[in-house]
Chains A and B, each alone.
Chain A
Amino acid sequence: MTQPGFIVSREDWSLHRKGYQDQLRHEQKVREAIRRNLPDLLTEERIIISDGRQVVKVPIRSMDEYKFRYNLQKMKHVGQGNGRSKVGDVIAADPVSGPGGRGGGAGDAAGEDVYETEIELSTLEDILFGELELPNLERKEKDLFSVTDIRFNDIRKTGAMGNLDKKRTILENLRRNALNRTPRVGGISPDDLRFKTWEEVRRPESNAVVLAIMDTSGSMGAFEKFVARSFYFWMVRFLRSKYEHVDIVFIAHHTEAKEVTEDEFFHRGESGGTICSSAYQLALDIIGERYPPGRYNIYPFHFSDGDNLSSDNDRCVQLLRRLIGHSSLFGYGEINQYNRTSTLMAAYRNIRDPRFRTCLIREKGDVYHALKTFFSAGGNRA
């Protein structure tokens, strides 16, 4: 051909960032949506159950590009088979898991339309923990330093023979001989010896213990337990971001209290009445035995529906005051869906202490408010 009619070129596109810029804006909007939906997201079961997985799919409402479109669910579509298709063949089925599953499924479902996005748990934590802070943070003096490591990082002229640095010793020897115009290795004198010395690396270590106390009496149902579980899930993660090490002690109680495993704590249902003081006494005992307040930041939290044996209330208040004395923060969350006039909350109304906070939880979304109540500088008393 005489005229090629085409040009091939390669340009430097490295400054072309447009896609990334708008991607950033989209991510910003997702973060905004997450922030707006925090109360709902925190009790998203997929997160609470996912424990450990770092990426979770969560529904973000209002991040879709809305337009007038057909209801795909009520439409006929055309597809292509492998040559043997026949009327009645099933080519796909909705996942059995409840509503809000597939993204395309909006329309006739009663649930809200949902744009699913994958969020790194850490993103969610960034946003949430950015809003929380530890009240009454104290340095526990005795634990200020603890030896965690030994590092050889210095060279000296004296030391134990076992720590002799042979390479540097020979280098010194060579240097000394060279100065005497005999550049060779040999005739090592004590002056050539070099020793490795170490340094103890001291890092401040801080410990915290969460005493998770839950009422497991007959009146505490699945909802109440889920709320407590969601709360502890986030609280532990939050405390871990502040402390080196966080212990959790699970205490379940009805008329009597006992220390249980996490699994038992959340899954075993008990029945019968409620005597909360039993749990407080056990908590005090555990602190006395294993968690001296001088070395641990102690965070007891008690979740109950508040339906305590009324004759026990005085004793509760008494023990509670002693517990508060040992604690960085004591939080009492009363899960009260139906607005019963409670006994325990009334009994605690008169306790005025900056390290004691209460929160009333009526619905899932209140887990967020509980976190905000307990972990804020001022602590708005509910």
Chain B
Amino acid sequence: MKDRELRRLEEAIAEISDIARHFGLDFFPMRYEICPADIIYTFGAYGMPTRYSHWSFGKSFRLMKMHYDLGLSKIYELVINSDPCYAFLLDGNTLIQNKLIVAHVLAHSDFFKHNVRFRHTNRNMVESMAAAAERIRGYELEYGAEEVERFLDAALSIQEHIDPSVIHPYGLDRLRAEEAKRREEERRRKEKRTVTHEDLWRLDDDWEPEGETKPAGPGSPPPEKDLLWFIIKHSRHLEPWQQDVLGLIREEMYYFWPQLETKIMNEGWASYWHLRIMRELDLSPEETIEFARLNASVLQPSRFGLNPYLLGLKIFEDIEKRYGRDMLFEVREFDMDTSFIRNYLTKELTEELDLYVFEKKGPEWRVSDKAWENVREQLIRSRINGGFPYIVAVDGDYRMAGELYLRHEYEGIELDLKYAEKTLPYVVRLWGKPVHLETVVENKKVLFSHDGTKHTRKFLN
């Protein structure tokens, strides 16, 4: 990009930002970076400018880059939830493409800043992840890249299993909260004993609270959805560096999670606003045509899934029609995809968009249902828990042998059993002892187990 083009882009950004503010969008200070394709695709694969190394990122980078090289797909932009908010623009975008993208990312930035699901996300995550990458790099040097890779393979296999409920009293800081609670109890006990130098006590690693204040041991913790946390806390097998890596992965997942559960809303919001903002600009006929073409490609419907940009946009437009624009801002603040769909996807909209439920019948995928409530219900289900199975740890001392017992909270959709069986050995690697997973297959309770060398499965009750 030449300096002259850069200046024109800056002028356009200033104008678009003014329009966006005028509309009531309130975004973080923006940092736009213009990058070549391989950098954009690197960031796309890692989800962040700097992140630790793992072959799975290389795998997705290769795939994305290949699709780009073959002209199958193109990322025009990438935006990071941070303060200031980073947006990466593909070098080679035309000015009109960049205008649309800037309008789009400003709305994303507004969404990050105001949606309640993002309230507790770390806005310095760019730096935090870079620091985490540095730490993991250090472990690679100390323990060997292969060892770290083996551990990451295992840790990443359950990375989605955190507990993202916002009503959680301690959220991300759970470890610290528990530690604080423990210290508080300790302090009270020591006060009773009239010991004042509590620092001395804390140096004593083996000191365990006893008697009536002893916290629930690994044998009887309540069912825990946050598997990463459960393992960090209760696995007796992990080395300190491994606990640290698990903690880092958990923290990164907490950061990414709100994006998983607001995908439709967030893209719908950004699309709604890029359309409105672009309409305010003075475009030449050629620019108008190019804009229309790009916009159409962004909003193209999909037969085998839902284009979140299109669905989100349509719902937001429908809300505006029914309740006025002020309502939009309220929705973007308090909803997430599941509630957004439950509250605002109407019969008329379902029919207008020609949404349907489809499923596999024999070798064919067929449209099986068009009743709007069922479509809505299915859509909500697919968004629950980010689309991942809900699995809880129910026992860390199963059979009194320190084995881990996991339970899939079955809600009508079976697990991919092959995958489940391939995942269990990874959990064993983290737990250090046999791991069991209870789930439902063909309406029967089944227990899958792995003891480090072999699989077993048996029917329960």
Contacts and interface: CB of A to CB of B under 8 A. Distances in A.
Contacts of A79: 302-306, 355-356, 358, 367
Interface stretch (B27-35, B190-198, B282-290): B27-35
Contacts of A22: 53-55, 57-59, 61
A68 B391 contact: yes
B306 A8 contact: no
A107 B31 CA distance: 44
B238 interface: no
Contacts, number: 238
A336 B11 CA distance: 78
A65 B56 contact: yes
A131 to B, nearest CB: 22
Interface string B406-448: 0010000111111110110010000000000100000000000
B353 interface: yes
A80 B302 contact: yes
A76 B378 contact: yes
22 contacts: A1-B18, A6-B30, A7-B31, A8-B34, A19-B41, A19-B65, A20-B61, A25-B53, A25-B55, A25-B149, A29-B55, A71-B415, A76-B359, A77-B305, A77-B359, A78-B357, A80-B306, A81-B356, A85-B367, A91-B303, A92-B364, A107-B416
A187 B354 CA distance: 93
A154 B345 CA distance: 84
Contacts of A68: 158, 161, 388-389, 391, 408, 415, 419-420, 423, 437
Interface in B307-321: 307, 310-311
B103 interface: no
Nearest to A73: B360
Contact of A23 (B31, B61, B357, B416): B61
Contact of A69 (B54, B159, B379, B416): B416
A67 B17 contact: no
Contacts of B57: 19, 22
A77 B382 contact: yes
Nearest to B420: A68
Given A68-B389, A79-B358, A87-B370, 12 more contacts: A22-B58, A23-B59, A66-B426, A67-B159, A70-B389, A71-B414, A78-B355, A79-B306, A80-B303, A80-B311, A91-B303, A91-B366
Contact of B353 (A7, A64, A80, A93): A80
A106 B365 CA distance: 16
A91 B31 CA distance: 43
A91 B355 contact: no
B35 A1 contact: no
B58 A8 contact: no
A75 B39 CA distance: 36
A6 B106 CA distance: 11
A186 interface: no
Interface string A1-42: 100111111110100101111111111110000000000000
A181 interface: no
A78 B305 contact: yes
Contacts of A16: 39, 42
Interface in A79-111: 79-94, 96, 106-108
Interface string A93-137: 110100000000011100001000000000000000000000000
Nearest to A29: B55
Interface in A232-269: none
A178 interface: no
A22 B38 CA distance: 13
Given A68-B389, A69-B388, A74-B413, A5 B160 contact: no
B184 interface: no
Closest 8 CB pairs of A and B: A22-B58, A19-B42, A26-B58, A23-B58, A66-B422, A6-B30, A81-B354, A19-B61
Nearest to A18: B42
B138 interface: no
Interface size range of chain A in the complex:
35 or more
A55 interface: no
Contacts of B38: 19-20
Contacts of B9: 8
Given A68-B389, A71-B416, A74-B414, A86 B370 contact: yes
Contact of B157 (A5, A23, A66): A66
A171 interface: no
Given A77-B358, A113-B419, A91 B33 contact: no
Interface-centre pick from B18, B32, B91 (highest chain A CB count, 10 A): B32
B382 A78 contact: yes
Nearest to A104: B416
A72 interface: yes
Interface of B: 1, 6, 9-10, 13-14, 17-18, 21, 29-36, 38-39, 41-42, 45-46, 50, 53-59, 61-62, 65, 91, 149, 156-161, 301-307, 310-311, 353-360, 363-370, 375, 378-379, 381-382, 387-389, 391, 408, 413-420, 422-423, 426, 437
A91 B304 contact: yes
Given A6-B29, A23-B58, A68-B161, A78 B53 contact: no
Given A13-B39, A78-B355, A106-B418, A92 B10 contact: no
Nearest to B310: A80
Nearest to B439: A68
B18 A76 contact: no
B46 to A, nearest CB: 7
B449 to A, nearest CB: 15
A93 B363 contact: yes
A8 B302 CA distance: 34
Contact of B13 (A6, A66, A85): A6
B108 to A, nearest CB: 14
B102 to A, nearest CB: 9
Interface-centre pick from B18, B65, B414 (highest chain A CB count, 10 A): B414
Contacts of A106: 416, 418-419
Given A91-B358, A92-B304, A65 B157 contact: yes
Given A8-B10, A66-B423, A93 B31 contact: no
Contacts of B388: 68-69
Given A69-B416, A75-B359, A91-B367, A85 B354 contact: yes
A183 to B, nearest CB: 50
A76 B365 CA distance: 10
Contacts of A9: 31-34
Contacts of B426: 66
